[in-house]
A and B are shown apart, each in its own frame.
Chain A
Amino acid sequence: AQSVTQLGSHVSVSEGALVLLRCNYSSSVPPYLFWYVQYPNQGLQLLLKYTTGATLVKGINGFEAEFKKSETSFHLTKPSAHMSDAAEYFCAVSLGDSSYKLIFGSGTRLLVRP
């Protein structure tokens, strides 16, 4: 069975500091991995995804994530936090291109201090 674990329900950083949101997964087959962002009272927006190929994936708003198979991780990073990055971030896994089901982590709320 697949599962996703996001370490830290809340992460607080200062504006301009590095953002690191952790995601570990378990999957019996090569996974597809996703990061979504949810702003207050809005739906989820795809930040980036890993399917196959290059393990460092760049997304929107300056975010990137690296797929590390040996560590079963897909951590999300951004070199310099902006106030507008404050939101909830969800990591998700699916069974690949034919899969319809996304398995989500419990989310990490990012707080950005001025």
Chain B
Amino acid sequence: DSGVTQTPKHLITATGQRVTLRCSPRSGDLSVYWYQQSLDQGLQFLIQYYNGEERAKGNILERFSAQQFPDLHSELNLSSLELGDSALYFCASSVDPGFIGYTFGSGTRLTVV
């Protein structure tokens, strides 16, 4: 157990639908990151939040949004889902400042049918 909790582990939904992925960071970590991994590819950075505020943004689609709540958990919202959105979505957290690498959760596998 890495200490980063992601729910749900698996999600199957239809095209056009909206889903919410949830992440609880490791205790003491203020930064939360979201990554997408499609089809055995590398991880693509989506977005970072630090203590409730957006800190860095990657190639995140406009249909996707995220937020970090006062208790530091984060949610990634994916809307108007397309088949190509099927992927593993990883959340990670880190100590900040003093960044030395992330701790990843085990991911949410999203399948859009």
User: Do the two chains bind?
Assistant: no
